[in-house]
Amino acid sequence: QKTDFVLIVPFQEKAAFGPRIIDSYLTGHGHSVSTLYFKKRSQEDTQPTSKEISLLIDFIEKTDPLLVGFSLMSVFRNTVFSLTEKIKERINVPVVFGGVHATICPDDCMKIADICCVGDGEEPLNIILNNLKKNNYVDEKTPNCYVNNNNKIYKNPMTYVCQDLDSLPFSDFSGRNKFYIDEDKIIK
């Protein structure tokens, strides 16, 4: 089923409040979102199997999104970079990084990501998806984002900060458009 945004939550707890708020916010603004939890979190260096990587790539191909995103913690940087390379080898889709690593190391993220969201991402992602739907284009002036446009990196200031957290929707804990890849299988 086609979706606007595939949000990948790698190696994190399924509770992942930030990505769930992003899902609710974007859905509330008319975008279709599929959230994919990729493997259980482990303090060990857990590497995805080739089957799990294939399941991830096949999922993205099948849903044919306008945008793929990773919620990225620094400890999983190398694996997410490798997954991004594999996605880009097979699928022509912009990839955005958000989360802790993107906020503290945006220049590092821009080595492979097309967009890096620094800080709050709800409204910047809404803007990006609206632009992709209308013009198939990511505006290099998107707030809170570093944007690679024809190999030129635009570093936009953090101008969107949600001052009223009560204005954000509740985290989406439904099973709607939620998927989980682990132990060589995908589960809805």
- Provide the residue-wise pLDDT of the chain in tens; the chain has 188 residues: 789 999 999 876 666 767 878 888 899 889 999 999 888 766 565 789 999 999 999 999 999 999 999 999 888 899 999 999 999 999 999 999 999 999 999 999 999 999 999 988 889 999 999 999 999 989 999 999 999 998 999 998 777 655 565 555 456 656 668 888 888 999 88
Q: Are 1 and 101 in contact (CB under 8 A)?
A: no
| Measured distance CA(188)–CA(168) in Å, rounded | 26
Q: Which of 95, 96, 88, 70 is nearest to 11 (CA)?
A: 70
- Measure the CA–CA gap between 26 and 129, rounded to whole angstroms: 9
Query: pTM for the whole thing?
Result: 0.88
